[in-house]
Amino acid sequence: MLTFLYSMLVLSGLMLIVLVLLQAGKGAGAGLSIGGGMSQAMFGGSGGRGFFIKLTAVVAAVFMVLCMVLARVSSKGSQDYKGVMAGAAAPQAPAESPAAPVAADTLPGTAPAQPAKK
């Protein structure tokens, strides 16, 4: 069943791509994209523009419903999912931390601050 749904999703996606590419812009008629005069006789004076718009809407709706169904099916088994870090050990805190910050002059290898000369 899942294989059938995935194959229908791929098929409807490819159909959607082809239908969108077949449609011409608002200024041009869709008849030029599928064979000129033949489309005028087959689809009427509009050249199939309305037909392609409706067919694209139907295929897009089918694609959207298939996406939602597949998302729901795939999320059913994820009730027990705790995340990728669920089995990882927690980091350990440092053994001891300094009680007060250390002044820069008392660090080894540093020279005491010199007063500015005038």
**Cβ-contact 59, 16 below 8 angstroms:** yes
More confident residue, 86 or 80: 86
Cα-based distances in Å from 99 to 77, 92, 96, 103, 110:
50, 19, 9, 13, 21
Q: Is the separation of the CB atoms in 31 and 47 below 8 Å?
A: yes
**pLDDT tier at 14 (50, 70, 90 boundaries)?**
very high
Contact 43, 51 (CB under 8 A): yes
Give the whole-number percent of the chain exceeding pLDDT 70.
Answer: 55
Among 15-24, 59-68, 79-88, 99-108, which stretch is predicted with the lowest mean pLDDT? 99-108
